[in-house]
Structure formats: structure tokens, C-alpha cells
């Protein structure tokens, strides 16, 4: 096989006017091949040595025969530009790259140039240049609008430039420590907030989107320190608050029509700013509610029949505003918030949410209701709006809303102010439904040595039973109906309580063993056990079974004290495990020691109630004796 023959250039079809490629072209020949002559005889040949020097020029256009098909293999990879990569002396640097490969290299080259450009723009000089460009775009648009208020064609170009200038601020969130101080110093924050009053809603939405991005808690990159980013964010948010951003944002919610996609995104960004600011400083929630009309807007928004992302976001913001904020809870009652939330939740009485997002929405509304029910005045409004009746109906349907309804009743019936709710609950025939949920389906005991914790639903049922015993007056028909539930069916409810108690005791023993080890390690290191350590360990015990044990023993103490038959059954069951009422009294004492005496005038505190139970079950060792 002749190797030279294999690498010869293929022959062109007959009739082609293309030049044949020599076997081994020289650099001079390659250069000459680029200077093709015109097929019509346009080439001028110098016949007289020096007389035509400089006059004759070869055309660079290569006229191809339409019928002649160029070879696809005249260069490596079929690269038509292969031989064009040369310098003036005829040297070429072709690497045999295809057009696709060259395009890939160009993309990487351009990306590198863009990265260098971005780095320059995010320097302090680049930031100032960007802010100056933005300020000029704002002033130009203002001038054009003031000169030609009735002719949009005169200022439409400046509006487009302003749109681009606003969006150019988005990358500043990558360098908060550099950019945010400059934003405040240059008054760009003020100018940006003033755009919230712009006539063009699209410009307002642009400004809102930028602030949403700038106030995100995750601003900055991994290179910068979190503390520096947090300080920069603090400077920015304080500047925004000084320019009344909360009030302006709420006012703009009224301007946005969520039937339009851009406006819908605008509402999302406004709610996002609220979340960012409240996450930075939760105390601002009081100012937001008292100084704006955000609460009525949120209550109106969650009533929408169709679920959407913004509807879910509105419920989440409402939950944040009500959490740990008494002033906002009281304000909610003035805006008929309790009744509004019950109306919203009533749609889930007979059907489950359609998807995970709607499920989250439902849970947020339930959380809002639970937060509101901490206030005594709202418990009265809850009863007036037939809230207990709705919760009982939800418990009967056994849908996703059942567990949330039980949790809501626990909040509504707790404390001395929950008496009215307890009475309304029994009147709504809630006891039968409650105990049906409490007994549930019998399940096989776990083979694990560590008993599982009581479910959240069971914990709230125990809370409801505790409230019923605390708030329902003695010798009343409601009280008798409650005690009768523990007697029926061979004391099965008492047995269920004792099963839960055994599980809690097992978990608590493991927790106490862990705490004992921690205590020994602390002493071995020469450290003193402080009051903070004791408080931490107590909270650890509560989470490790003590809270459930306290709830169960509180209920057992009431039933044992008020019904002799129940008391005998409890003693019998405890005796089988070498226990007695003294074990229950021991738990009550722990509760008594860690309960504050904060009763209102005319009400019995929980501490006093515990003293009475201890005295009734173990009079010789009652507190104070």
C-alpha cells in the first residue's frame, strides 16, 4: 500500500475550474491559491516586466462553477477555513478543527471575556458607574415625561433605558459589603424607592424585583463573610425603612392586577420583601400592621376561590405577622379575622387540598388561627363564629384537616379563658368524636426497647382532655358526661392512658440516663452545674417523654379523684407494674415546681389546681405541709 497515495488530495470532477491541490503544497503556493483569477478573464498578466508593476491586481473572489461540487475532504474535518488560518508570510496555523469545535471554543472565549467584564463591574469603580448610569436614566425619563406628558412616543425610549438601568442593579446583590454602603451613600436607595410612585407599573415592578433580590438573606457569595453581609444588609434595610418602603409597598399592592403575569410576579416580589424584612427584624411586624393596610389585604387575598402561589404566600406572611405578636392578634380580631379564617378553612371540611402547595396553604391558615386563639378575646369570637362546631365536623370526616382541627381546639380550650370553648365543644357533641380519635385503631407494640413518642395528634388530644378537666365546673352535666367516657366499655380510655404513660416512662428513663452522663462529664471537666444547665436538662426531659407523662398523670389524677370506680381500676393496673398513685403524685409535683402562678383576678391558676390534686391524692405530703 502506498501511503503517499492515501494522503493525496482527491481529484475534482471533470470540468471543474478549481485548481488541483498539489501533493505537497508550499507556503507560497497556499498564498497564491487565495488569489484566484476571475473566470471571465479579469486577471491581468504583466507582459513587460516592470511596466505593469503595481497595476495588475488579482481579485479575491473565487468564482465557482455551479455544477461543480467541492470536495468535503479537501482539509481535515471538512474545515473550509483550514487553509485561511495563516499570516502575511503564508504560514498557517490550522488545527483541523471543525466549525462546531471552533464555535465551542468561541463560546468559552466569550464567557471568559464576560467574566472579566463582570468582575470589573462589581468593583467599587464599576458599582459607582452602574449607579451613575441608573441615576441618569431616572432623571432623563422624568424630564421626558414632564416635557411630553401626553405623547408617550417621546419618552418611550427613555423608559426602555430606565428598565435596563434598573435591572443592571440586580448583580449588586453578589457584593453586598461593597455595593450596599454605596447604594445608601449615593442616595440610590431613595431614588429606587421613589420609583414606586412611577406612572408605569412595569417600572414599579422592576424596582420591587431589585429590592427583593437585594434584601434576600442569602445575598453575597461564599467568599464573603456572613457577618459582613449581615451588617451590609442591615444598613440597606434601615435605609429602606427611612424612606417609608413598607407603606409604599402596601399601596402598590392595590395597583397590581394579578390577572396579568407581570403584575402577579410583582405581588410575589412585594410579599418576598415583607418576608425578607421581617426575617431580618421580626419586631417590624407590629409597625407593618399598625402603619399600613396590609392585614385587610392579606385577609382578602386568602379568600380567593382559586389557589395560587401568591395566595399561599399571603397566608405565610399572615402567619409570620401573628406569631408571638399580641398587638397584631388583637388587631386581627378588629378586622373580623377569626371569622374570615374559619370561612377559608370550611372548604376543607369535605375535601382535601388538591396538591402539596394547597396543603401548605391550609396548614398556614390553621397556624394563623392557632396563634390568634392565644388571646382570650379571640376565643370568644371563635365560639361566636361557631368555630368549635366546624372543628368537630372536620374531626368526623377524617381527612387531612382532622389533625389540624384537633390542634386548633387544643389552643382554643387552653387556659381559664378557654372555658367557653370547652362548653361549646361538648354542646357540639365533640366528646364522642374526640374519644374516637383518641382510641384510634389498635396497633401492635413496637419491638424496639425504646417506645416511640406520642404522635402530635395524641399530644393535642391529651391537651384538650386536660383543658376539659380544668375548665368544666364540677357537678355540671358537661362534667358528668366527660367522666362517663372514662367508665364506659370497661375503662378502655383509662387503659389507653396507662399505655401512653408506660411509653412515656420508658422514653423518660433513656433521657434521664443521657442527662446523668452529661452531668458526670461536666463535673469531670471541673465545671459547675449552673441554673442554665438545669433549665436545659429540664427542657430535654420534656421533649424526652416528661411532657406527655405530665399530661397523662394530670388526667388520671382528675379521674381517680372524682370517680371511685376509675380510681380502683387505676390502682389495680399500676400495682401490676409495682407502681401506685404516689408515682402519679410525683409527676404532679414536678409540674407544680415548674409552673408559674400567673392567674388573672377571679381565676384559679394551674399551680393552685395542681396543689389541690396533690392534696387529694396524697394529703400527708401535699405542698406546704
Sequence-ordered list of residues with C-beta below 8 angstroms from that of 55, at least 6 positions apart, any chain: 44, 46
**531: exposed, middle or buried (C-beta count within 10 Å: 0-12, 13-18, 19+)?**
exposed
Q: 331 and 238, same structural domain?
A: no
Ramachandran angles phi, psi of 86, nearest 5°? -145, 165
Q: 225 and 260, same structural domain?
A: yes
Q: What are the E-state strand segments in 540-596? A: none
Give the whole-angstrom CA distance, residue 277 versus residue 287.
12
What pLDDT sits at residue 148?
87
Vertex 275 angle, CA 269 and 280, to 5° = 130
Q: 201 and 268, same structural domain?
A: yes
How many structural domains is the chain composed of? 3
Q: 467 and 343, same structural domain?
A: yes
Decide: helix, strand or coil at residue 41.
Answer: coil
CA atoms within 13 A on the CB side of 483: 21
Chain position carrying cell 376565643: 379
- What does pLDDT average to over the chain? 82
What pLDDT sits at residue 121?
66
Q: Could you list the residue range(s) of the whole structural domain that residue 467 is in? A: 327-440+456-474
- Contact criterion met (CB below 8 Å) for 414 and 463: yes
| 58 within a domain of the structure (yes/no) | no
What pLDDT sits at residue 528?
87
What pLDDT sits at residue 569?
96
Q: Is the pLDDT of residue 29 over 60?
A: no
Q: 349 and 230, same structural domain?
A: no
Domain ends where: 227, 251, 281?
281
Q: 467 and 350, same structural domain?
A: yes
Q: Is the pLDDT of residue 115 over 70?
A: no
| 322 within a domain of the structure (yes/no) | no
Give the whole-angstrom CA distance, residue 248 versus residue 256.
13
Record the cell numbers describing residue 594, joined without a space: 415548674
What pLDDT sits at residue 604?
76
Q: 378 and 257, same structural domain?
A: no
Q: 272 and 147, same structural domain?
A: yes
- Mean pLDDT in residue range 345-351: 94
H or E, element range at 214 = helix 201-214
Domain ends where: 248, 281, 314?
281
Q: 502 and 470, same structural domain?
A: no
Q: 432 and 340, same structural domain?
A: yes
| 155 within a domain of the structure (yes/no) | yes
DSSP one-letter code for 297: H
Q: 141 and 269, same structural domain?
A: yes
| 46 within a domain of the structure (yes/no) | no
Give the whole-angstrom CA distance, residue 345 versus residue 347.
5
| 100 within a domain of the structure (yes/no) | no
pTM of the model: 0.76
Q: Is the pLDDT of residue 187 over 50?
A: yes
Domain ends where: 243, 258, 281?
281
Give the whole-angstrom CA distance, residue 336 versus residue 395.
24
- Contact criterion met (CB below 8 Å) for 552 and 493: no
Q: 243 and 170, same structural domain?
A: yes
Amino acid at each position: 500500500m502506498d501511503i503517499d497515495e492515501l494522503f493525496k488530495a482527491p481529484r475534482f470532477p471533470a470540468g471543474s475550474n478549481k485548481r488541483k491541490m498539489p501533493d505537497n503544497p508550499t507556503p507560497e503556493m497556499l498564498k497564491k491559491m487565495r488569489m484566484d483569477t476571475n473566470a471571465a478573464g479579469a486577471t491581468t498578466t504583466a507582459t513587460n516586466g516592470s511596466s505593469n508593476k503595481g497595476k495588475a491586481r488579482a481579485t479575491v473572489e473565487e468564482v465557482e462553477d455551479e455544477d461543480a461540487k467541492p470536495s468535503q475532504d479537501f482539509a481535515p474535518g471538512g474545515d473550509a477555513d483550514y487553509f485561511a488560518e495563516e499570516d502575511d508570510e503564508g504560514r498557517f496555523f490550522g488545527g483541523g478543527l471543525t466549525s462546531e469545535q471552533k464555535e465551542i471554543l468561541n463560546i468559552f472565549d466569550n464567557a471568559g471575556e464576560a467574566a472579566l467584564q463582570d468582575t470589573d463591574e462589581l468593583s467599587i469603580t464599576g458599582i459607582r458607574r452602574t449607579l451613575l448610569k441608573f441615576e441618569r436614566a431616572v432623571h432623563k425619563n422624568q424630564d421626558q415625561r414632564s416635557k411630553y406628558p401626553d405623547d408617550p412616543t417621546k419618552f418611550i425610549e427613555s423608559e426602555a433605558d430606565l428598565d435596563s438601568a434598573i435591572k443592571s442593579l440586580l448583580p449588586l446583590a453578589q457584593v453586598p459589603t461593597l455595593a450596599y454602603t454605596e447604594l445608601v451613600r449615593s442616595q440610590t436607595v431613595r431614588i429606587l424607592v421613589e420609583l414606586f410612585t412611577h406612572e408605569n407599573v412595569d417600572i414599579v415592578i422592576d424596582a420591587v424585583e431589585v429590592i427583593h433580590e437585594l434584601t434576600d438573606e442569602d445575598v453575597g457569595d461564599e467568599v464573603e463573610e456572613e457577618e459582613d453581609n449581615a451588617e451590609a444588609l442591615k444598613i440597606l434595610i434601615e435605609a429602606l425603612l427611612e424612606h417609608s418602603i413598607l407603606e409604599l409597598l402596601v399601596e402598590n399592592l392595590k395597583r397590581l392586577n394579578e390577572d396579568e403575569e407581570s403584575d402577579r410576579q410583582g405581588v410575589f416580589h412585594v410579599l418576598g420583601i415583607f418576608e425578607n424584612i421581617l426575617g431580618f427584624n421580626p419586631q417590624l411586624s407590629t409597625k407593618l400592621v399598625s402603619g399600613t393596610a396590609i392585614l385587610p389585604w392579606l385577609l382578602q387575598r386568602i379568600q380567593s376561590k382559586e389557589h395560587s402561589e401568591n395566595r399561599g404566600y399571603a397566608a405565610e406572611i399572615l402567619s409570620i405577622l401573628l406569631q408571638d405578636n399580641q398587638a397584631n392578634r388583637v388587631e386581627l380580631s378588629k378586622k373580623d379575622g377569626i371569622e374570615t379564617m374559619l370561612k377559608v378553612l370550611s372548604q376543607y371540611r369535605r375535601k382535601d387540598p388538591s396538591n402539596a402547595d394547597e396543603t401548605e396553604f391550609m396548614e398556614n391558615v390553621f397556624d394563623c388561627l392557632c396563634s390568634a386563639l392565644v388571646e382570650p378575646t379571640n376565643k370568644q369570637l371563635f365560639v361566636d363564629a361557631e368555630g368549635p362546631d366546624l372543628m368537630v365536623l372536620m374531626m368526623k370526616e377524617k381527612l387531612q384537616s382532622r389533625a389540624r382541627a384537633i390542634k386548633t381546639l387544643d389552643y382554643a380550650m387552653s387556659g381559664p379563658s378557654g372555658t367557653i370553648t370547652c362548653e361549646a365543644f361538648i354542646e357540639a357533641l365533640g366528646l364522642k368524636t374526640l374519644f374516637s380519635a383518641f382510641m384510634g385503631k389498635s396497633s401492635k407494640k413496637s419491638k424496639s426497647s425504646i417506645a416511640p413518642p406520642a404522635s402530635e395528634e395524641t399530644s393535642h388530644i391529651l391537651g384538650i382532655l386536660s383543658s376539659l378537666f380544668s375548665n368544666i365546673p364540677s357537678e355540671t352535666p358537661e362534667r358528668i358526661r366527660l367522666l362517663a367516657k372514662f367508665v364506659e366499655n370497661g375503662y378502655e380510655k383509662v387503659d389507653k392512658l396507662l399505655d401512653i404513660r408506660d411509653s412515656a416512662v420508658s422514653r423518660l428513663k433513656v433521657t434521664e440516663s443521657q442527662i446523668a452522663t452529661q452531668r458526670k462529664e461536666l463535673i469531670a471537666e471541673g465545671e459547675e452545674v449552673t441554673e442554665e444547665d438545669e433549665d436545659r436538662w429540664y427542657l430535654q426531659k420534656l421533649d424526652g417523654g416528661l411532657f406527655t407523662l405530665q399530661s397523662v398523670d394530670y388526667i388520671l389524677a382528675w379521674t381517680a379523684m372524682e370517680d371511685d370506680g376509675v380510681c380502683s381500676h387505676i390502682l389495680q393496673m399500676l400495682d401490676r407494674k409495682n407502681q401506685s398513685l404516689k408515682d402519679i403524685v410525683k409527676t404532679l409535683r414536678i409540674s407544680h415546681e415548674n409552673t408559674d402562678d400567673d392567674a388573672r383576678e377571679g381565676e384559679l391558676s394551674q399551680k393552685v389546681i395542681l396543689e389541690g390534686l396533690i392534696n387529694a391524692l396524697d394529703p400527708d405530703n401535699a405542698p406546704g405541709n
